Amino acid sequence: MQSMTGFGRGTHNTGGWTASVEAASVNRKQAEIVANLPRQLQGLEGRVRQATLSHISRGRVQISIKLERLEGDVSDQIRINPALARSFESAFSDLSMIISRPLLPTPADFLRQPGIMEIGEAETVDPEEAWEVISPALEQALANLNAMRSAEGEHLKEDFLARLGQLMAFTQIIADHAPSRPVRQRELLMKRLSDLGIPPELDDERLVREIALFADRCDISEEITRLHSHFAKFHGYIDTPEAAGRSLDFLCQELFREFNTIGSKANDALVAQTVVEAKTELEKLREQIQNIE
Say how far apart CA 70 and CA 76 lie, in whole Å. Answer: 12
In this prediction, residue 75 carries a pLDDT of 46
Helix (H) or strand (E) holding 89: helix 82-99
CB 92 within 8 A of CB 105: yes
Compute φ and ψ for 205, nearest 5 degrees. -60, -40
Say how far apart CA 227 and CA 206 lie, in whole Å. Answer: 34
Compute φ and ψ for 117, nearest 5 degrees. -130, 120
- Show which of 95, 130, 148 is a domain's final residue: 148
Taking CA atoms, 188 is separated from 41, 193, 210, 239, 273, in Å, by 80, 9, 12, 48, 21
User: Could you say which residues of the chain have pLDDT below 70?
Assistant: 71-78, 118-124, 180-218
My answer on whether 161 and 284 are in the same domain is yes
My answer on whether 212 and 278 are in the same domain is yes
Q: In what order do the strands lie in the sheet with 59-69?
A: 6-14, 17-26, 59-69, 31-36
Q: Is residue 130 part of a domain?
A: yes
**Partners of 137 in the beta sheet?**
none
The candidate with the shortest Cα–Cα distance to 161, out of 15, 45, 1, 31, is 1
Q: Is residue 103 part of a domain?
A: yes
In this prediction, residue 197 carries a pLDDT of 61
In this prediction, residue 268 carries a pLDDT of 76
In this prediction, residue 129 carries a pLDDT of 86
pTM of the shown model: 0.64
In this prediction, residue 190 carries a pLDDT of 59
| Total residue count of the chain as it appears in this document | 293
In this prediction, residue 216 carries a pLDDT of 54
Range of the domain at 182: 152-289
Q: Is residue 77 part of a domain?
A: no
In this prediction, residue 74 carries a pLDDT of 46
Which CATH number belongs to the domain containing residue 58 in this structure?
3.30.230
Q: Is residue 246 part of a domain?
A: yes
